[in-house]
Amino acid sequence: MKPLILVTNDDGITSKGIRTLVEVMQTIGEVIVVAPNSPQSGMGHAITIGEPLRLYSTHIFEGVVEYECSGTPADCVKLAKNYVLQDRKPDLVVSGINHGSNSSISVLYSGTMSAAIEAAIEGIPAIGFSLTDYREDADFDHAIPYIKSITEEALKNGIPNGIALNVNIPEKSDLPLKGVKVCRQAHAKWQEKFDYRVDPNGRGYLWMAGEFVNFDTEKEDTDVWALDNNYISVVPCQYDLTAYEAVKQLSTWDL
């Protein structure tokens, strides 16, 4: 019996990335798509609670049951599990392929990974796939064999309960990919700045900009190093944010 694979993303149901991911997953199992009807990048783990959710059947992909949703990526997973699939539980949730990197600290802001983590919360194995190419017409061809093999290995061996895999793939270049590295999230952050600008009507507004600052330079066990050196990075992520060492320290306080 073919595995049931739920596909979602944060770039919207019409993006090239999700089309590529659906095509790969169709070679592996039965595919159901529930994805946002518009781009949801940077939404993190937001959910819709103050307004209704809209869910419509679509006909974008061939041979697939599919729905577009007015909500966030996390909403899509919740709706798929509790409404669309009802008594059926997916064997795997895959999210992406995201147009742009979700390595290091970006995992906290990523709608792609939030969908995967939402699945992990529900006890469903999950993988988020991202390509370090932000273009709408990004070339995913070099990533396809790796996406397929990582997915097949996850189905074969299982993913630990409560864990989602954050898979980032270097953009296509003249050099072949060197392989896959299982690694940790790099210690890094975005150093933001806000540009003050004026619109054509003379009204001021702010535009967020900034640069990525990596504090783990030259450390070969991080996802950023792997990507910089043309490896695919695989980072196991968990939704338990407890800082266990800090629990020990805080327990000594006179509270």
Q: What is the structure's pLDDT at 1?
A: 86
Nearest of 81, 88, 96 to residue 36 by alpha carbon = 96
Confidence band of 43 (pLDDT split at 50, 70, 90)? confident
pTM, two decimal places: 0.93
Backbone CA torsion sign across 237, 238, 241, 245? negative
66, 194, 237 from 69: Cα distances, Å: 10, 32, 25
Q: Is 140 helix (H, G, I), strand (E, B) or coil?
A: coil
Q: Which helix (H) or strand (E) holds 76?
A: helix 73-79
pLDDT in tens, 226-239: 999 999 999 999 99
pLDDT at 244: 93
Residue 107: pLDDT over 90: yes
Residues of the chain above pLDDT 70, percent: 100
The strand pairing partners of 32, in sequence order, are 6, 65
- As a whole number, mean pLDDT of residues 13-40 equals 96
Cα(119)–Cα(121) distance, integer angstroms: 5
Q: Is the pLDDT of residue 36 over 90?
A: yes
Q: What is the pLDDT of residues 172-222, one digit of tens each?
A: 999 999 999 999 999 988 888 899 999 999 999 999 888 888 888 878 999
Q: What is the pLDDT of residue 104?
A: 93
Report the phi/psi class of residue 96: left, alpha or beta, with left for phi > 0 and alpha for psi in -120 to 50. Answer: left
Q: Which band of pLDDT confidence, cut at 50, 70 and 90, is reported for residue 78?
A: very high
Which letter does DSSP use for residue 105 in this model?
A: T
Residue 158 has pLDDT above 80, yes or no: yes
